[in-house]
Structure 1
């Protein structure tokens, strides 16, 4: 959970007309989603840590996404909404509003379906179709950070630090997951030390690796 100071530093700029809306689906927002977060290890995110307003449901979907950017999280949340509400969205495939209104459903559940089905479909469709507002953090477009992800080490420029991790893991036959965890703990600025530690402890057990990470 972010404190007030952290929230102020990471909260994206929210247009006035969306001040109460979930960034993912447009429904009323009652919490916040921050990315990257501790539940998913990300060291090559193309943008700084940022926070968007969110509804409960979209937050749950977002925290399950294993992605490297808020834009990829957004895509997975939309996919999750479509999957979760596929029956509601199917109403619009199988019916028209006029056909429902003119249907002869009477009594019990059938009458309730006639009365509420189109509204249910419309809500689901609106959430899936919602166009999230353009992200800015302290007045800077988030897309501007795309150019900042290049990683240079030992005279070689890599598209991002993950590519460098893959490269050194292959060269020295290192445990890629362990090297990534070391880089995450130490920061990419200390990539050389992370590689050295990984090479020194190349034969370490999983328990020993966890102990090394804990000491950093």
Structure 2
């Protein structure tokens, strides 16, 4: 694929895939272009294959590198398909197969739910192939933050926080306070703790937070 004098090398196995999510590509995305503010973009203009959805999301991302654009696209995909991704949080493939949905209103959900989750998971977790221009591989000058949890690779810890707060209707500020105590390495425990406080008042949560801080502090002594 060419962009001016630049040649983007696409591995044979990926020649028909979207660079952002791995779905079939029928469009192209050029970065930077007239709709982007080029501030500190160190790499040359690039044209990448993309699916219709990802290309539309990428155009709206006002970032300084194509890798930052990819992060923005993934964040939007996580938000857009949070219900599909939530299937993997609430179910396993085995539990869905053993559910009693046959013949009921949820029979269709039982048949398609795990597939929907796998598609969404695959798109979010997909990592675009290395970008090679005229035989030279381009590298992101800014180390991108990622957070991997329960089979999903999030562009950032904040994306994971937003996702779980959305799924379980958690108070984000309280969740962040709990996570600061548990640390990101105990993300699952932070989720469970916050789910136990859904019906609590602000005063009760403050007391639980103080108690949690004392308990965790005692663990490390």
Q: Same fold (TM over 0.5)?
A: yes
In the alignment, structure 1 segments of 5+ residues that lack a partner are: 147-216
**Superposition pairs of residues 47-62 of structure 1, within 5 angstroms:** 47-62=43-58
In the alignment, structure 2 segments of 5+ residues that lack a partner are: 143-221
Partner residue of 1:138 out of 134, 138, 160: 134
1:114 to 2:110 alignment: yes
CA contact (8 A) 2:29 2:48 kept: yes
Aligned to 1:18: 14
Aligned to 2:181: none
- What TM-score comes out, normalization by structure 1 length? 0.62
Aligned to 1:66: 62
Number of equivalences: 142
- What TM-score comes out, normalization by structure 2 length? 0.60
Query: Partners of 1:103 and 1:9 in 2: how far apart?
Result: 57
Question: Residue deviations 1:69-113, cap 9 Å, x none?
Answer: 001101111111111110000000000000000111033540000
1:129 to 2:125 alignment: yes
Query: Partners of 1:125 and 1:145 in 2: how far apart?
Result: 27
Query: Partners of 1:109 and 1:76 in 2: how far apart?
Result: 36
* Structure (1 or 2) with the greater helix fraction: 1
Aligned to 2:86: 90
Query: Partners of 2:90 and 2:140 in 1: how far apart?
Result: 43
Alignment RMSD (CA, Å): 2.0
Q: CA deviation at 1:145?
A: 8.1
Query: Partners of 1:145 and 1:124 in 2: how far apart?
Result: 28
